[in-house]
Amino acid sequence: MSRKSERLVNLTIALLATKRYLTKSEIFRTVDGYDGSPEAMERMFERDKDDLRSLGIVIELGTFDPLFEDEAGYRITPASYQFNLGQLDGEDIALLSLAASAWSGASLERESSAALVKLESLGLECDSDALSFLAPQMSVNDPNFSLITDAIVRKAEIEFDYLGEDLSLKQKKVHPYSLKGDSGFWYLVGMDVAAEQVKKFRLDRIESEINVGKKGDRFESPVSHGLADDHLQERAVLKVRKGSAHQLRALAIETNPGDEWDQIEIAIINRSWLKRSILWHRDDVVAISPSWLRLDVIDSLKRMQALHG
Amino acid sequence: MAKEQSTPLEQTARMLDLVPFLLAHQGISINDLADHFKVDKDVILDDLNTLWMCGLPGYTPLELIDLAFDSGYVTIRNAAPLARVRTLSSSEIVSLTLGLDLLREASAEIAPERSQRIIELSEKLRSIIGADISIHDKSQTTFRTVIARAIKERGSVAISYFSPASDRQSERTVTPYHFLVEGGVEYFQGYCHTSSAIRTFRLDRVRAATESERSGKLENISAATGEKFRVHAAIHWMDRATLESFDLELTDIEGLSSITLEAFSEQWMARSILASGAGLEVLEPQELRRSIAKSAEVTMALYDEGAIA
């Protein structure tokens, strides 16, 4: 049995039930669990306030009568404490419950279970018709997942080791802006503090546990954030054999059809990916320009032939 | 269920949420209660014992929360100040919005009449946290990760698979081997237990995928069908793209000068090695060595002056 959690619950009850602000001395006198020297109680109370705030409970500070210089007091207003998503019906509850259950066995299972408990406490009849139609399953298991989502919401700086293209581990300090799931991977977009550039990081390439900055330290997020390499991209010109290389064709900004070969132009977002992709398609794709790309591909082919000849 | 000590803060959150939950579920068994809160029965008993000591200042029987749970079934009275369901925390909201993203994608095909409702709920929740966390395409993100995990852990998946040729959806149990991209479309290959044969599936035609109980007897199957293709390759250098294409971890190659790679398609293996751009050299089998040298030569010839009109 924990004295501390008992005291926190008692404090919550007292602050919720009161119509007026309770002063510190009233709290120390009446709420069970506060004892020791005045300084000790003071410290205890400061920590308790922080703890309740970290649970998302808003503690208001104010005075009973603004005309008198009263001692400031505390209270929790029911409006800020209580679940409020506006009018919900059975279908909403069913859909939200399905959404929560998608995390079974995955990264945010704990958070979604807590949400589910709250939904089930509302005493609303769940529309079981809506419940039966599908059951999606989230399967991200990354232990960093909840740390990142939390850091995005709190605007807290994060630090981690990132696997570079050359397999070196690079220490990154990032202001996380967004997290997106796409094509089987999760991408974090944020400001790389050292490089002063907005970059994209793939979650499974983060090789360390994420270190989240101190509470209260919030970074300023820009009004809009484009990825640094969104603009002024160099373009590659490729010849692709008719009826092949659909993956590269799908990226084409321009296509000039020919007889046996079509010519396409694509934006170069990732050089090494592009080179790999050209090599992967063997004699179905030929790099025309820029010259560094063409020479790079020729060089790889030469070395590959030399190695295996 | 995991037996872990919860922190005083976690216990506080749980106790605050227990009260409204119990008010909506009078007479619930302690076992069910532990299930809902995803903790051990002992933990819930400790919560109830602690909660039983909480109440309004004064702490006479009149002010204390009145709980009865001796019989193994829980009833609650006199809990007015904590009767309200607490507001959702930001991480709980994140879990719900991501779950709704999955539902929205899934419902688009199965229950389009629910889509609007899902979007409204999602917008309502997102406006509360104001963070940019979302999933773009469900089928790829969720099903691909389920399948990827099965490949890694040599497990099986139960899939609903849509075949346009026969215009039918079938339920199958598959032990997946690897992903492959052909013509811009992602596939996965595996042993289909339902048809007792190795089959290739298009990822975007998978309508549902969950882990299956059936253990993937990968070795036996491949021995029986002789489908698995093994290559011994020298590592001259390795970059991240090559590492990821063979689904290796950093630790898999640490200190190694050569490695055995496995795949279920010889063509996929040949292309992936060529794409490594001379980072990998095939040592065995000899036929693959020759075929890679040949591909490199044929492709290189296309870079000669005037080879392509």
Each domain of chain B, given as residue ranges in start order, spans 8-82, 90-129, 138-225, 229-301
Residue B264's φ and ψ, nearest 5 degrees, are: -100, 0
Encoded tokens for A282? 């063997």
CA B302, CA B98: separation in Å to the nearest integer? Answer: 48
- pLDDT score of A234: 86
Rounded Cα gap, residues A183 and A113, in angstroms:
26
- Residue A96: which of B15, B90, B121 has the nearest Cβ? B121
Residues 129-148 of A with CB under 8 A from B: 130, 133-134, 136-141, 146
Find out whether B12 and A114 touch, Cβ atoms under 8 Å. no
Q: Would you place residue B198 in the very low, low, confident or very high pLDDT band (cuts 50, 70, 90)?
A: confident
At the topology level of CATH, where does B138-225 sit?
SH3 type barrels. (2.30.30)
Is A205's CB within 8 Å of B87's CB?
no
Q: What is the DSSP letter of A283?
A: G
Whole-prediction pTM: 0.74
Split chain A (309 residues) into runs of 10 and give each run's mean pLDDT. 86 93 92 91 94 91 72 90 89 90 85 92 80 67 88 92 92 93 82 91 92 80 62 84 79 90 90 89 92 94 92
Whether residue A136 and residue B99 make contact (CB cut-off 8 A), yes or no, is yes
* Cβ contact B173:B214 at 8 Å: yes
List residues bridging with A190 in a β-sheet.
A176, A199
Nearest CA in chain A to B280: A304
Domains delineated in chain A: 3-81 (1.10.10), 90-131 (no CATH), 154-227 (2.30.30), 235-308 (no CATH)
Q: Are strands A197-202 and A73-75 parallel, antiparallel or unpaired?
A: unpaired
For tokens 């990081």, name the residue. A201
Q: Cβ B96–A121 below 8 Å, yes or no?
A: no
Surface of A (38-57) touching B: CB under 8 A? 51-52, 54-57
Asked whether the ipTM of the predicted complex exceeds the cut of 0.90, the reply is no
Task: For B201-254, write each residue's pLDDT tens digit.
Answer: 888 788 888 888 765 444 444 434 445 688 999 999 898 888 888 878 888 888
Pick the CATH number of B8-82 from 3.30.420, 1.10.10, 1.20.144, 2.60.120: 1.10.10
B17 with A121: Cβ contact below 8 A = yes
